[in-house]
A and B are shown apart, each in its own frame.
Chain A
Amino acid sequence: MALTAESTGRNPVRAFGARLGLAMAIVIVTFLAMLLRLYTLQIVRGDELSSQGQRNFVQHIRIPHDRGIIFDRHGRILVDNRPSLDLQITPAFLGRGPNAKSTLGRLQEICGLTQDDIDKIAAQVLRKSGLNKFQPVLVKRDLSPSEIEAIEADRAVFLLDGVDIVEGRRRAYRYGALAAHMLGYVNEIDPVSLEAERAKNNPMGYELGDLVGREGIERAFEEDLRGADGYEQVVVDAKGRRQHDAFVTSLLGQQRRFEPKPGKNVYLSVDLDLQLAAEAAFKKQGVAGSVVAIDPNTGSVLTMVSAPEFDPNAASGALGANEKAALDKDPLRPWLNRPIQGQFVPGSTFKVATALAALMTNTATPSEHVHCPGQYRMGHYTWRCHGTHGSVDLKRALQVSCDTYFYTMAGRMGLEPIAKASRMLGLGSVSGIALRGERSGLIPDEAYHNRADKASGGYQKGMAINAAIGQGSVLVTPLQLAYAYATIANDGTVYAPRMVERIESADLRVKRRTLQAYGAIREDVQGDAPALMRELTSVVRSKMELPKDYLSPIREGLIAVAEPGGTGYRNRSQKVSMAGKSGTAQVVRIGAVRLKMEQMDYFHRDHGWFVGWAPAEKPEVVVAVLNEHSGHGGVTAEPVVTEVIDTFFRLAEKRALRDISLTSGSPLPWTAPPPPKKTTTEVRE
C-alpha cells in the first residue's frame, strides 16, 4: 500500500492539485463570510454598538453570604452575623488622574486611615489592570453612621467616582469574649492561605478579602460554616453608575442574579448557662487558667474556659496594631487556648494514675497500709511529704493526698507501670478534639529519661518517685485530665472529646403574613426548613480491659476527699455529693527552703488544680479546674468546680420542672423546636 512517486511513475502532487484548489476556494469563501459578518457588525449595527461602547459596561456585584450560625446545645445563638456597610473602590471607575488622588485623600480624612493604610490601598488600586480593574478594592469594613454621612455629603461636592458603600457581613459574637478560644474568630484570608486553598482545589473558591475561620470552631468547621457568595450582573456606565439598558442586558443572557448560599449551622454540645457560670466563678478566683466540664457518659464538652481571653469581635475586624501588640506581648498569653494547648505539671491530681498502676501490678492491695513519717527515704535521698499522716491505706492516701504512700508505691514498682497506667487513662497523647493545635502533654517512661537525661546518666529510680505525685517531667493538659477522671468515673471508657453535636443546613424559611378579608391573617411559610446534614456521635478512644468495679477503690478514695478529713471537704458542694482530687503543682524545683506564697514572684507560685465529679456514685458531670499560680488547689480551684457542679444541677432541675409543666400542658412563652428529621438527600460527608 505504500506508494511513492517513483513506483507509480506519475507525480501524485498533480492529484493534490484539485484538492488544493478546493482549499483555496474555501479560504476565499470563509474570509468573504467573515467580511460579511464584519459588515453587519461595523456598518449595519455600527451606530447601535458604538453607542453601547461609549456608555455601558457589565459589572459583577457580589452578594455576600451568611456564614453559618453557631448554637449551644439548647439552640441558643452564640455566634451569628450582622449586616455592615463597607467602603470599597472600583479602580476602573476611580481612574488614575488627579481626581483619584483627591478622592483617596478625602477617604483617608473621613475614615481616619493612616498614611500606611492609604498607601497600601493606592498600590492595590494601581496594580489592577485589564478586567481586574472592575474588581473592587475594600477600603474599610463596617463604617460608622457618621462616616457614611460624611461620604454621602462629599458626593455632592467632590466627585467620588468609583467609591461605593456596599452591604457586607460581620460576624457577631453575641457574648463578647465568652468562650473566645473555643469559638475562635474570622478574618480576611491572607495570600498564603489563599494559595493553599486554591491548591487544594477547594470548590468554595476563596478570593482575596473573603473571611476565613482562624481559630476554634470557626476554623475547624470552616467548610461547613462557609457558604458561597452570590452575584449579580449589572450594567453600569463609565463612572460606575447603574444603568438599565435593554440591549446590553439582553446580551448577558437569562439569569443575571445568582443567590448567595448560606453556610451550615453548627450545634455545639456546650451549655451557654454553664459556660457563663464557669467563667464568672473562675474570675472570682484567679486571672489565668482553665475550666473544663464534660459529660463522663458521652464525652461531650459542656464548658471550656480559657482565661485570660480576647474579644473575637475585635479580633475579627482589623485589630489595631497597638491592640494586637498588647495581646501578643501579654505575659499571661491570652491567645493560648489553655485547656488543649497549655501543658502543666499535674501535681497530686496525677496520683490516680499511680494508684491505678499500683493496683494493676498488685504492688499493693487497696487495704494494705503504709506508714507515713512525713518523709520517704531511698538511698541517700529523702522526699518530703506535706504532712505526717501515720498509717494510711489507698483510700486514706487519696483522701489526705499523702505523698509518702505514692512514693512507696513508685519505689516498689518503678516508672514503667505508672507510664502505662497514665496512657490507659488517655494522658500523654492528643485526645483528638476538633480544635487546632492540641498538645499531647508528656508522660515520661524509662526510654524518655534515658533519651532526655542522657547527660546525667539516664533513668534513675528517683524520677519514678517524682512522677508518682505528678511532679518531675509529667505534663498534662486540663482537657486530658478531665477525660482521665471521666474514665475513672465511668468505669473504664476513654472518650474522645465531642464539641459539635450536629450540623444543619440553614433555615431558609420565611414567614409571610397577608391580610385577608374581614381582618383575617393568613400565614404562609416559604423556603426550606433546616435539614440535618451530619450528626457527630460520641467516639470511644479506648476501653480499659478491666473487671467491673476494678476502679472502685480509687473512686472511694476520691469520694473520701470531699468527706470530713479530706483535702476537698471545706469547699465541697452543698447541693450534691461529689468526688474529686485537689492538686498543688510546684512550678519551680523543690528547694531547700519553702517560701510563703506572698513571698514568691507570681510566675513562681504553685498551680492550683481540682478535678471532680458529681454525683459521687452516679457521675453526670466531670469538672477540671486549673488556676495558674494561685497556690493550693483545694482552696483556689475547688470553689470553681463546686460552683460549676452546683450550676449544672440547678439548670438540670429547672429543665426538669419545665418539662413537667410541658407535659401537663400549661402554656409557656416559647416551645423548643423539635429536632429535625434526618433527610436522605443532600447529605454530604
Chain B
Amino acid sequence: MSPSVRRGGLSFAAFNWPLAAAVILVSLLGVYNLHSAAAAESPGLYLQQLKFMGVGIAFAALLLIPDYRVSESVAYAVYAVFCLLLVGVIMHGHHAKGAQRWLMLGPFQFQPSEFAKLAIVFGMSRYLSTRVVPDGYTLLSLLRPLNPSRPLAVLAGIAAFWNKPVMADPIGELARFVHRRMGTARVEPADLMWFRVVLALGIVVVAAAAVAFVFRIERSQALLNPWPRTRRRRVLVLVGLMTVSLATWLGLSWNAPLVRDPIAFLINALNEAGTPGASHAELAASWWLRIGLVALGATYLMGSLLAIRRRQADSLTDILVAPIDIMAVPAALVAAQPDLDNAIVIFCTGLTMVLVVGVRLRTMVLLGLLGTAVAGVSWFGVLKDYQKRRIMTFIDPENDIQGAGWNAVQSMIAVGSGRWVGKGHMEGTQTQLSFLPEQHTDFAFSVWAEEQGFVGCALLLAMYAALLVIIFSVAADAREPYGALLAAGLGAGLFWEAIVNVGMVIGVLPVVGLTLPFFSYGGSSLIAKLAAVGIVLNVHLRRRVG
C-alpha cells in the first residue's frame, strides 16, 4: 500500500481552513479581551498584540511554502541553535520578574523559551521518527542509563566542582544551600501514618519478592550452575533475618521522627548540620571524596563503554543520546532561568510525543501508578499546607507563595462573578479595578470569564478543544512518522499550556507563570504559536491521501 501523495499541494481544498479559522478567531478574541484587560494599565496594548498577530500570520504563511520534510534535515540544527539561545539568556538575559527570560536582538527583545518549545518538537520528531520501536519504549530505552554520555557528564561535573567548597565539605554545603532557600527555622514534623504503613508493606513485599526469586532460580534452567541447596538455604535465611530485623527496627522506631516525617527529619538534620561547630566539620578538606568520585565516574565510564560493544549500536547518536536527553537539556536550561513552569511544559510535551510513538504497556502502568501515587498522595492527601509551601519555595524560590494565594482567591472571585453571560466588555469590576495581577498575561482568561460569563468561556474552551482535535487529526493523517510527530508534538505543547493556565485560573491547579496560547498578551508567545500552527498546516497540505 503505497500512499499517493499530493504534490505541490498548495490548492484551496487541501488547505485546512477550519484550523486556520479557529486559530485566527481565538487570537482575535484575545486581542478583544486585551482591549479590556489592559485598559487600566496600558490602554494601547491591544494594538501591539494586533501587530504581533500580523507578524505571526505572515511568518506562518512563509512556513507553508517549503515542504515540511525539508526541516527534517535541519531539525537537529534548529534544536541546537535554540539550546544555545537559552544558554545566552542565562548569561546575558534581561531580567523580568526576578528571572532572566528575555534576550535582546537588535531593537527586539524576545523570549527564547517560547521558541525552544518549538525546537524541542523538531528535535524529538527527528529522533523518534527514525526510532519507532515496534513493541514500544521501555523505561530502560527511554533513560539508557548506560550511555557513555552520562559518565562523561558526571566526570565533567566533578571537574567543574573540583575546587568548589562542596567538594571539601559536602554536608555543610548542602546544609547551607538548604538554609539559603528555606531559612534556618525548624520544621514541625507531621505525623505521616501512611508512610509507615507503606514502609511496612514494602518490607513484606520485598521479602516476598526475594523468596519468590530464590525459588524461581531453583526451577530455572537458564543458569548454567543452578544454586546448590545449601546456598539457597543460606540466602533464604539471610532474607528472613533481614526481614525480621527490618520489621523489628520499624516496630521499635514506629514513633521515631525519621519514620513519622522523613522530609521534616531530613530538613531538621540538615539545619543542625549547618550550624557551626557541628560534626560535619570533620569532613572538611576530604581529598578522598574527590578521588572516590573520580573512581566512581571512571568505573561508570568503563561499564558504559563495555555495554556499547554488546549492544552493537550502529549510530553515534544512539550511543550518546537517549530520548530523555532531548527533553532534559532544554528543560534544564529553561528551569535555570529560572522558569520552572515552562520547563515542565517542555518535559510534558516530550513525554507526550514518546507516548504517541508508543510505550510498552507495562512501563506505562508502572510510571502512571508511581507518579500518581507519589504526587497525589503527597500533595493532596498528606502534606500540610505549610509543608507544601516550604517545598514550593525550595523548588522555586522566586515563586511568591503569599501572592499566589491572593491571586488564586482574586481569580476565583473574578471568574465566579461572571455568571451566565458576564458583566460585559470593559465592565468587569475586578478587572477594571486591577485586582487581578498579570491580568493581561497569565490571568487573561479570568478577565474573559468575568466579562463574558459561562457562555463566553464555553465558546472559548470549545474552540480550543476543536483546535486541538484538528491538530491531532492532522497528525494521524500525516504522510510519515516525522510529520505526524511534528503535528502531535506541537498540539501537545498547546494542550499542556492551555490546561495548566485555565486550571490555574479556575483554581484547580497551583498558580504558575504560564500564559494561555493565542489568547494572552505576549509577542514571542503569539508569534511562536502561530508559527507552530503554520507548521501543522504544512503537514496537513502534504498529507497522506487514501
Residues of A bordering B, CB below 8 Å: 1-5, 8, 10-13, 15-17, 19-21, 23-24, 27-28, 30-31, 34-35, 37-39, 41-43, 45-50, 52-54, 57-58, 60, 92, 129-131, 133, 201, 203, 238, 248, 251-255, 683-685
Contact = CB atoms under 8 A, between A and B. Distances in A.
Interface in B400-430: 402-403, 405-406, 409-410, 412-420, 429-430
Contacts of A37: 506, 508
Interface in B183-221: 183-184
A41 B415 contact: yes
B358 interface: yes
Contacts of B132: 3-4, 12, 15
A13 B481 contact: yes
Contacts of A60: 402
A201 B419 contact: no
B457 A54 contact: no
B544 interface: yes
A199 to B, nearest CB: 12
Interface in B97-138: 129-134
Interface string B430-459: 100111011100000000010001100110
B68 interface: no
B183 A203 contact: yes
A30 B544 CA distance: 29
Contact of A16 (B131, B356, B492): B356
B416 A41 contact: yes
20 contacts: A1-B133, A2-B131, A11-B480, A19-B355, A21-B476, A23-B488, A23-B492, A31-B464, A34-B506, A35-B457, A38-B458, A38-B461, A41-B412, A46-B417, A53-B417, A53-B430, A54-B417, A58-B406, A130-B41, A252-B405
A491 B397 CA distance: 55
Interface in B130-148: 130-134
Contacts of B418: 42, 46, 50
A58 to B, nearest CB: 6
A238 B432 CA distance: 13
Interface stretch (B339-347, B495-503, B530-538): B495-503
A205 to B, nearest CB: 11
B23 interface: no
B419 A16 contact: no
A685 B480 contact: no
Contacts of B488: 16, 20, 23
Nearest to A6: B480
B518 to A, nearest CB: 15
A243 to B, nearest CB: 14
Contacts of B417: 46, 49-50, 52-54
Nearest to B413: A53
B412 A49 contact: yes
B415 A253 contact: no
For the complex of A and B, the 6 pairs showing the least CB-CB separation, nearest first, are A49-B416, A50-B417, A46-B419, A53-B417, A31-B465, A53-B413
A248 B412 contact: no
B276 interface: yes
Interface residues of B, number: 81
A684 B499 CA distance: 46
Given A54-B429, A683-B275, A13 B409 contact: no
Contacts of A129: 40-41, 434
Contacts of A38: 415, 449, 454, 457-458, 461, 506
Interface string B517-546: 000000000000000000000000000100
Given A53-B413, A254-B385, 15 more contacts: A1-B318, A2-B131, A3-B131, A12-B132, A15-B132, A16-B488, A27-B495, A30-B499, A38-B461, A38-B506, A46-B417, A49-B417, A92-B434, A131-B406, A201-B180
B484 interface: yes
A39 B355 contact: no
A42 B453 contact: yes
A126 to B, nearest CB: 12
B413 A52 contact: yes
A46 B506 CA distance: 13
B26 interface: no
B502 A57 contact: no
Contacts of A27: 465, 468-469, 472, 495
Contact of B475 (A16, A31, A42, A251): A16
A77 B508 CA distance: 54
A474 B420 CA distance: 87
Contacts of A255: 386
B144 to A, nearest CB: 11
A373 to B, nearest CB: 65
A28 B449 contact: no
B481 A5 contact: yes
A24 B469 contact: yes
Given A57-B435, A131-B406, A254-B385, A35 B315 contact: no
A8 B488 CA distance: 22
B414 A28 contact: no
Nearest to A38: B457
Nearest to B477: A13
A41 B508 CA distance: 11
Contacts of A683: 275-276
A1 to B, nearest CB: 6
Contacts of B457: 35, 38, 42
A214 to B, nearest CB: 27
B314 interface: yes
Contacts of B157: none
A13 B476 contact: yes
A21 B473 CA distance: 8
Q: Which of A2, A38, A47, A53 has the most CB of B within 10 A?
A: A53
B356 A42 contact: no
Interface in B330-387: 352, 355-358, 385-386
A683 B462 CA distance: 60
Contacts of B462: 31
B437 A130 contact: yes
Contacts of A46: 416-420
A4 B72 CA distance: 14
A133 B491 CA distance: 39
A255 B435 CA distance: 22
Contacts of B492: 23
A20 B417 CA distance: 37
A27 B492 CA distance: 10
A31 B479 CA distance: 29
A49 B492 CA distance: 33
Contacts of A13: 476, 478-481, 483-484, 544
Given A3-B132, A49-B416, A34 B499 contact: yes
B8 interface: no
A34 B416 contact: no
B3 interface: yes
B96 to A, nearest CB: 14
Nearest to B132: A12
Interface in B66-83: none
A24 B473 contact: yes
A49 B413 contact: yes
Contacts of B429: 53-54
Given A58-B406, A131-B403, A28 B420 contact: no
Q: Which of A8, A58, A201 has the most CB of B within 10 A?
A: A58
Nearest to B475: A20
Contacts of A5: 480-481
A254 B131 CA distance: 53
Contacts of B184: 684
B476 A17 contact: yes
Given A13-B480, A53-B413, A34 B475 contact: no
Given A4-B130, A13-B481, A50-B416, A253 B405 contact: yes
A20 B434 contact: no
B131 A42 contact: no
Nearest to A33: B508
B465 A28 contact: yes
A5 B318 CA distance: 18
